């Protein structure tokens, strides 16, 4: 109740007065405005105040009404999403069938053209005297393939239209679904803002459990990040090893030519060039591996490969069967060493992928627990607000 007039500050003697006796100010309106601006809801009759004023309370109730009214959109959204995925899969299968019928039709068309035009096929048919008979058969097969292709085209066009319609419908439904999700997020923000810091034994326990789960997830996510970075460096190293293996295979071919086919300066230069490139790729691979080992020391080790290609000057100046054989042996040794290191690398990649899968499983399990706990915390805080509203009423 107002003790003084808010307009002229005159003391109010009679609490039943509607207007100020001095200035005529409407005391009832001023009292309502004052109440709405300073309204706070006391929870569980203790000293903790839920921080929600009249405007925020009104917004909360409006959101709650709108969320409940749009509850059916959740099921509609998931149904249309499943239908869209199904019809898209059917369209993709129809597209593949159509492409196959086009290929078959083109093959049959070629067969007809071979018999109609002057070709080896038509000449053989003329000699045997069965050209007209074969042409009739090929024409029948061609028109059959053409008919199937047109039918497949019609099926594909029909499914394309269905996918287009389903996509448009899903887009509209997705907008409504996302709008509802945004309403829920806004209401949750109001709930958490109003109840943050309130002492309540049930709410405090849920919040403490949530914080524990969040803290538990931090080291798992950090380990996952280390594993992902390590995996990427291992993939990079494998690409380098793969390029080195291809170059060494090519160098082996030139070495065989040089040894048994009488190569010469050209084959020696190409051979040494490919060996040098392979060595650079192997060095790049080990630089990536070094970063991977530094990032994740538990990673299984990989054998070190040193590529030696000998002296180019020696191979050219003293080119003979024995130097060529020695060069060929060095290339083969390097090739098998890199292949072996690449196999070890693949084992390490499998090892890291297994650990990453285990971490993903732990992280996904924790994420589900966190989402469940956050939902429980929201429901409890909403209950606190509803209790405060019922106490007010």
Tell me the per-residue pLDDT of 24-44, one tens digit each, with 9 for 90 and over.
554 544 444 444 444 344 333
Phi and psi at residue 117, to the nearest 5°: -90, 175
The answer to whether 224 and 359 have CB atoms below 8 angstroms apart is yes
Per-residue pLDDT tens over the stretch 311-353: 444 454 445 445 555 666 777 888 888 899 999 999 999 999 9
Per-residue pLDDT tens over the stretch 151-169: 999 999 999 999 999 999 9
CA angle 96, 99, 102 (to 5 degrees): 150
Is domain 210-388 in CATH 1.10.10, yes or no? no
Residue stretches of the chain with pLDDT short of 70: 1-53, 114-135, 254-269, 272, 308-328, 389, 391-393
Nearest CA to 305 out of 271, 279, 277, 274 is that of 279
Please report, for the chain, the start and end positions of each structural domain, with discontinuous segments joined by +.
69-199, 210-388
DSSP secondary structure string for all residues of 70-98: TTHHHHHHHHHHHHHHHHHHHHHHHHHHH
What's the pLDDT score for residue 149?
87
Per-residue pLDDT tens over the stretch 108-140: 777 777 666 544 444 444 445 555 666 677 778
What's the pLDDT score for residue 127?
45
Instruction: Determine the Cα–Cα distance for residues 41 and 139; give it in Å rounded to an integer.
Output: 88
Token pair for 4:
């003084």
């Amino acid at each position: 109740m107002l003790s003084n007039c808010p307009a002229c500050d005159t003391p109010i003697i009679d609490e039943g007065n509607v207007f100020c006796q001095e200035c005529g100010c409407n005391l009832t309106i001023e009292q309502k405005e004052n109440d709405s601006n300073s309204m706070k809801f006391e929870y569980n009759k203790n000293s903790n105040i839920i921080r929600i004023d009249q405007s925020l309370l009104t917004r909360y109730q409006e959101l709650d009404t709108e969320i409940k009214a749009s509850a059916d959109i959740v099921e509609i959204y998931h149904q249309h999403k499943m239908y869209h995925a199904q019809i898209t899969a059917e369209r993709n299968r129809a597209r593949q069938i159509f492409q196959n019928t086009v290929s078959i039709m083109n093959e049959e068309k070629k067969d007809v053209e071979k018999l109609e035009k002057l070709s080896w096929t038509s000449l053989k048919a003329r000699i045997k005297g069965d050209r007209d008979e074969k042409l009739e058969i090929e024409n029948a097969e061609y028109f059959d393939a053409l008919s199937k292709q047109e039918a497949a085209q019609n099926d594909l066009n029909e499914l394309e239209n269905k996918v287009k319609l389903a996509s448009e419908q899903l887009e509209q439904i997705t907008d409504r679904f996302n709008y509802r999700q945004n309403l829920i997020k806004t209401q949750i923000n109001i709930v958490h803002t109003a109840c943050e810091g309130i002492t309540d034994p049930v709410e405090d326990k849920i919040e403490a459990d949530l914080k524990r789960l969040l803290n538990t997830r931090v080291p798992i996510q950090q380990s996952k990040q280390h594993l992902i970075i390590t995996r990427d460096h291992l993939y990079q190293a494998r690409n380098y090893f793969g390029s080195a293996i291809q170059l060494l295979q090519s160098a082996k071919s030139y070495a065989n030519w040089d040894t048994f086919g009488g190569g010469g300066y050209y084959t020696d230069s190409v051979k040494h060039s490919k060996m040098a490139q392979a060595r650079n790729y192997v060095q790049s691979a080990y630089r990536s591996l070094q970063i991977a080992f530094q990032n994740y020391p538990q990673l299984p080790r990989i054998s070190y490969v040193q590529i030696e290609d000998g002296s180019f000057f020696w191979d050219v100046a003293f080119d003979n069967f024995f130097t060529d054989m020695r060069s060929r042996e060095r290339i083969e040794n390097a090739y098998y060493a890199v292949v072996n290191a690449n196999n070890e690398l693949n084992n390490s990649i499998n090892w890291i992928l297994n650990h990453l899968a285990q971490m993903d499983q732990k992280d996904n399990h924790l994420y589900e627990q966190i989402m469940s706990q956050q939902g429980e915390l929201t429901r409890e805080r909403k209950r606190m607000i509803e209790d405060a509203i019922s106490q007010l009423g």
